[in-house]
Chain A
Amino acid sequence: MTTILVVDDEFLITDVLAFALEDEGFMVVRASNGKKGLDVLDRERPSLVITDYMMPVMNGVEFAQAIHGRHGEGMPIILMSGAHADLARQSGHLFACIFDKPFVVSEVVDAVIRLVGRPG
């Protein structure tokens, strides 16, 4: 089972992504901010993280830095970014992919498959 962690304060977006990934056979765990995301990360050991940029407690870049700090740089992270894409791109090295909101769900799912393969 390949597990994906989706972190966004906007539940509609975590919902949309989770349903699409679950349809592909992934196991999806969710968190509404980065701090909670780190807890889930420790507990569930996902293969890939999808995160929003503008969130309470810590933003997407701070969250990615915290993941790399704790788990090394091997964990692929996809960033979903809205109006602030340029700010996020300044830290582009932290991310395997950056999607601008509103994104096409299937393209995000394709990127996940490209990075971690189809769920076994």
Chain B
Amino acid sequence: MEQLPRIESGIAGLDILLKGGLVAGASYIVQGRPGSGKTIFASQIAFHHAARGGRVLFATLLSETHERLFQFLSTMEFFRRERIGAEMQFVSAFDTLENEGLDEVVKLLRREISRQKASVMVVDGVLNARSRAETSLDTKRFIAELQGHAAFAGCTVLFLTSARLDDGSPEHTMVDGVIELGEELIGSRSIRRLHLRKTRGSGAIPGLHDFEITSHGLVVHPRLESVWGRTASPEAIGTRRESSGVPALDEMLGGGLPSASVTLALGPSGSGKTTLGLHFLSRCSAEEPGLLFGFYETPERLCMKAASLGIDLRGLIASGAVEVLWQTSAERSLDGLGHKLLQAVERRRVRRLMIDSLSGVARASARPERLIDFHAALANELRERHVTTMASWEMNSLFGAEIHAPAPELSSLVDNLLMLRFVEAKADVKRVMGILKVRDSDYDSSLREFSVRGDGIHLGRGFERMASVLSGAATIAGS
């Protein structure tokens, strides 16, 4: 199978979606309402292309002056004023369009492609060309003629338009790709979405993908399940065991957590999930680096909490054995979080990961129905990378017989399930821990009294003579 030569877009995430970049010599329509980021999108590609030795022709059919455009773009990190007039030429075809019509614009731009030896051309304001054309067929011809000539010269073209052209529009049939930039309001949050509506000759990943506009330009977050965790080898989970950091728990697990497995610790707030995670990370070293991907507690608070358990988290961080990534805001894209997590894992070759909590990750999701696919991809990818993962999941009720477990599908995605609960016994609030599942392994299923002292977690046998412990109100067995 032949691979078409590509032009790297330089937009983080987009080249992954496009399987390497824009097809060289192909033409694309980039559509979206005003403010959707089309100009930044095209400029970012243009500056990246120029930085890699390419030549760019930026033609505007708009009334806005180029100087205004430069002022606006100068706030972006990729902007390089010295390239303008050198590798990048900006021409206005507005006057030609107004006075001489579309045919003359085509002639002008054809000449300019040759004169500038352009390998990328941006035509901003194709909507204007459309409003000018007597029938929609005229813009079709305009695009056809221009891209025909560009393709002959090996020049990749981006037509920017704020028109909402639908899939059946004649313009769409003429070009090789259609990229739509959109925005969606979910509650009070606004989420930008990139939609690859048409991609010819590229095997690109279709569908909607979140993106953000930062000072570095666009950052696209491909849907996690569309790029990762697609090849789960059944051998990923090893027969080796890794210590959970709590010797008594290792014993119950039959030697520790299976290497490269994913463990979910369910429990209400204050039941000891983070404490358990800190024990798990206490076994990190330079050879076995760890990561805490957290939402609630700041690194400073975590260090204090660890110190009270006799764990020197500060020292582990200082030596580089543990990294704490604290997510300050919930206003993030679900896929943005997923990619950030996987990048942090990749960067330090992390072997022990604590996600505190997975429900915090889930909260970033605008579409709950996607969560299962997302978590499945994340879990598969972590197993593939031989990361032993512990994740917490916040449960709502403190007491009570009802256990609001996360979706049953989620429980089946993880390899091991631990449960932490509060229980009232003899007018005393105690904490209880039990193992609900260990993949392909026998385990000690007894409920243990979970207590925390200055030297860490203790798992006592305080419930041996009790019944109905999981109801939240334990009774003495037989009474």
Contacts and interface: CB of A to CB of B under 8 A. Distances in A.
Decide whether A and B assemble into one complex: yes
Interface of A: 9-14, 32, 53-57, 59, 81-84, 86-87, 101-102
Contacts of B66: 10, 54, 82
Nearest to B71: A102
A32 B95 contact: yes
B92 interface: yes
A59 to B, nearest CB: 8
A58 B82 CA distance: 19
13 contacts: A9-B96, A10-B65, A11-B63, A32-B99, A54-B84, A54-B90, A56-B93, A56-B108, A57-B115, A82-B66, A83-B70, A83-B85, A86-B82
A118 to B, nearest CB: 29
Contacts of A53: 85
B63 A56 contact: no
Given A54-B91, A56-B91, A87 B112 contact: no
Contacts of B90: 54
A10 B85 CA distance: 15
A82 B84 contact: yes
Given A9-B94, A57-B112, A84-B84, 14 more contacts: A9-B93, A9-B95, A10-B65, A11-B63, A11-B94, A11-B98, A32-B96, A53-B85, A54-B84, A54-B89, A56-B91, A56-B93, A56-B111, A81-B85
A3 to B, nearest CB: 20
Nearest to A101: B67
B65 A56 contact: no
A82 B74 CA distance: 13
Nearest to A12: B65
B70 A10 contact: no
B81 interface: yes
A87 B86 contact: yes
B27 to A, nearest CB: 20
Contacts of A59: 85
Interface of B: 63, 65-67, 70, 81-82, 84-86, 89-96, 98-99, 108, 111-112, 115
Contacts of B95: 9-11, 14, 32
B85 A84 contact: yes
A74 to B, nearest CB: 27
Contacts of A56: 91, 93, 108, 111-112, 115
A102 B64 CA distance: 13
Nearest to A57: B111
Contacts of B89: 54
A9 B96 CA distance: 8
A84 B85 CA distance: 5
A9 B89 CA distance: 12
A102 B67 contact: yes
Contact of A54 (B82, B85, B96, B108): B85
A82 B98 CA distance: 24
A101 B96 CA distance: 22
Contacts of B93: 9, 56
Contacts of A83: 70, 81-82, 84-85
Given A57-B111, A82-B67, A9 B91 contact: yes
Given A54-B90, A82-B70, A87 B111 contact: no
Nearest to A84: B85
A55 B108 CA distance: 11
Given A32-B95, A83-B81, A83-B82, A13 B111 contact: no
A112 B247 CA distance: 88
B263 to A, nearest CB: 56
